[in-house]
DNA sequence: AAATTAAAGGATAATTTTATCCCTTAACAT
DNA sequence: ATGTTAAGGGATAAAATTATCCTTTAATTT
């Protein structure tokens, strides 16, 4: 569904959001441990998230990554996915055609349309807060 | 959604099915041209499809690939996908956890569940005949 | 039976994705 | 101001995926 990078990005964002809820700023090392991801690779992804203003970062002692609490409801899964994987998930054709459309549908077009539309809708309506709330309730887990 | 290999596999199968409808056996070269895929790579994929009895192959002159007409309604998209990509699509977690389940749901589990279930259902109910029929009606296309 | 044709299969290469290393830059603490 | 800390960023490496080449095997045709 998503690239590994994107999976890490989602996990990292959820973790940062969770900690931001406690007004905690968290460092790369802590994040990588929490979501069980390779540190250096995660650093790259956090850079992208930071550039895309999905998280904010501060250098130096007691620095690290955090998020604007007020933004947690507004920030949608779709924005993370877009920042890392682009819009391939949205406009991607089931058979990899890029000209695939309503007017020139590929053989699987109509079969896939519903599902991709729903996926899009789900990503666009699910906020980071939705996900981190689940996490706090113990209904879900982040680390393998 | 699927690997490139899987995309080629679906396209190739649809094309072979279409031609099998005319009782035509088709060769690698023709298939690769029809679906606009690299020939040698497509050969590998056809080997897998053949091993999985999704298509049948005959060597030598007037050989090539074909399918049992009677099977076109029975053969589902899911079988092609499984033969090439395994069952990652079915049991794949949105965040890449392999222990993700009802009992131990990842943060996106419930959000993704519906969509993955629908995808699974769609793949398991869509027959190759459904797709090749569309193609014949000119409603869809195979070659870019 | 021999020649020809086309798939099967092994080895290898190119590309993309994932991952690591190390040096630079910026923020904070003293 | 200086040292320490942590993110930023460039270069490189490893792994996986995609792709090609070439030899072998098995059919069909003559």
Residue B132 has a pLDDT of 87
- Pairing between β-strand A56-58 and β-strand B56-58 as defined by DSSP bridges: unpaired
pTM: 0.92
Q: What is the pLDDT of residues A54-86, one digit of tens each?
A: 999 999 999 999 999 999 999 999 999 999 999
Contact flag, residue B65 CB and nucleic strand C, below 7 A: yes
Least confidently predicted of A60-64, A78-82, B5-9, B102-106: B102-106
User: Is the confidence at residue B140, as pLDDT, over 80?
Assistant: no
Residue A107 has a pLDDT of 83
3-state SS, residue B57: strand
Cα-Cα-Cα-Cα dihedral sign, residues B40, B42, B45, B47: negative
Contact flag, residue A110 CB and nucleic strand C, below 7 A: no
Residue A98 has a pLDDT of 76
Would you call B132 and A14 a contact, using CB atoms and an 8 Å cutoff?
Answer: no
Name the more confident of A8 and B106: A8
Q: Where are the domains of chain B?
A: 4-136
Least confidently predicted of A15-29, A104-118, B33-47: A104-118
For B104, nearest residue in chain A (alpha carbons): A140
The mean pLDDT of B87-99, rounded to a whole number, is 81
User: Is the confidence at residue A4, as pLDDT, over 90?
Assistant: yes
The mean pLDDT of A83-111, rounded to a whole number, is 84
Find chain B residues with C-beta within 8 A of A135's C-beta.
Answer: 107
Binned at pLDDT 50, 70 and 90, residue A96 comes out as: confident
The CA-CA-CA angle for residues A108, B141, A123, to 5°, reads 35
The mean pLDDT of B103-125, rounded to a whole number, is 89
Nucleotide nearest to A43 (CA to C1'): D7
Phi, psi of A56, rounded to the nearest 5 degrees: -120, 150
Residue A132 has a pLDDT of 87
| Fold classification of A4-136 (topology level) | Arc Repressor Mutant, subunit A (1.10.10)
User: Is the confidence at residue B144, as pLDDT, over 70?
Assistant: no
Residue B28 has a pLDDT of 98
User: Is the confidence at residue A38, as pLDDT, over 80?
Assistant: yes
Q: Which positions ≥6 away from A102 have C-beta within 8 Å? A: A109
Cα-Cα-Cα-Cα dihedral sign, residues A92, A96, A97, A98: positive
Residue B143 has a pLDDT of 66
Would you call B107 and A140 a contact, using CB atoms and an 8 Å cutoff?
Answer: yes
User: Is the confidence at residue A39, as pLDDT, over 70?
Assistant: yes
Q: What is the pLDDT of residues A105-137, one digit of tens each?
A: 888 888 888 999 999 999 999 999 998 877 766
């Amino acid at each position: 569904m998503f690239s590994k990078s994107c999976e890490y990005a989602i996990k990292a964002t959820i973790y940062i959001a969770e900690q931001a809820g406690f007004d905690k700023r968290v460092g790369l090392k802590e994040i990588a441990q929490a979501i069980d991801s390779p540190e250096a690779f995660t650093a790259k992804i956090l850079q992208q998230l930071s550039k895309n203003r999905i998280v904010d970062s501060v250098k130096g002692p007691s620095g690290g990554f955090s998020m604007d609490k007020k933004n947690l409801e507004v920030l949608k899964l779709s924005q993370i996915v877009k920042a890392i994987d682009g819009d391939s998930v949205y406009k991607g054709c089931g058979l990899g055609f890029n000209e695939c459309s309503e007017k020139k549908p590929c053989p699987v077009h109509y079969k896939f349309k519903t599902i991709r539309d729903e996926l899009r809708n789900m990503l666009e309506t699910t906020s980071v807060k939705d996900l981190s709330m689940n996490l706090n309730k113990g209904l879900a887990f982040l680390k393998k």
